[in-house]
Amino acid sequence: LGEEATSLYEGARAKLAAHIGAPEPRCVVFNRGTTESVNLVAHAWGRKFLREGDEIVLTEMEHHSNIVPWQLAARDTGASLRYVPIADDGLLELDAVRAAVSDRTRVVAVTGQSNVLGTLPPIRDIAEIAHQAGAVILVDGAQFVSHNPVDVSELDVDFLTVSGHKMLGPTSSGGLYAKVQHLE
């Protein structure tokens, strides 16, 4: 029975990895959803890599669950928060992202799709801006993964959160994708 359960569990991990374009199943961990995933990155990755003077870039369209963990990580590490404003048309302008990201930015945390506006930020372009600054990018995929085709390799994101119940899965199901380099 244990072997059967393990096989089903690992099969589900492989299916989710394939669904989001992850290069291999070990890039995905299961948890209770997007909120837990953001907390995991903010508290584990953030507390290991953030230092006083570092910057965390968020947008004004973030869900509360992608703000509070970063506020706590900033408080505990001495990092500061910067926010990318929303344009009057409800979009994120890349010039505003570029203006917010600096050589002190260590992480850019952005929604893949706004739960209020439905806005789809240009994730690939934001990832490029983050990486050029030496930062990682976390994408809150709660709405994004459930409503759009997603390929984490093509988007070049470092972390992506997944909310299972947004895809007709059970309550308190979800996962976190992390690039292999962040797992080692």
For residue 127, is pLDDT > 70?
yes
Q: What pLDDT was estimated at residue 40?
A: 97
Quickly state the pLDDT bin for 171 (edges 50, 70, 90).
confident
pLDDT at residue 136 in the model: 98
SS3 state at 30:
strand
Beta bridge pairs of residue 159: 138, 178
Name the 3-class secondary structure at 126.
Answer: helix
| Claim: this prediction has a pTM higher than 0.75 | yes
Cβ neighbours for 80, distance < 8 A, ≥ 6 positions apart:
53, 54, 55, 56, 74
pLDDT computed for residue 181 by the predictor? 74
C-alpha distances out from residue 110 to 10, 13, 15, 82, Å:
29, 24, 25, 12
Segment 66-87, tens digit of pLDDT: 999 999 999 999 999 999 999 9
Question: For residues 85, 88, 92 and 95, what is the CA-based torsion angle, rounded to 10 degrees?
Answer: -80
- Residues of the chain with pLDDT > 90, as a percent, come to 90
Which pLDDT belongs to residue 170? 72
Q: What is each CA distance from 137 to 134, 173, 179, 183, in whole angstroms? A: 10, 22, 11, 15
Question: What is the per-residue pLDDT across 135-154, written as a single tens digit (0 to 9) for each?
Answer: 999 999 999 999 999 999 99
Beta bridge partners of 175: 30, 162
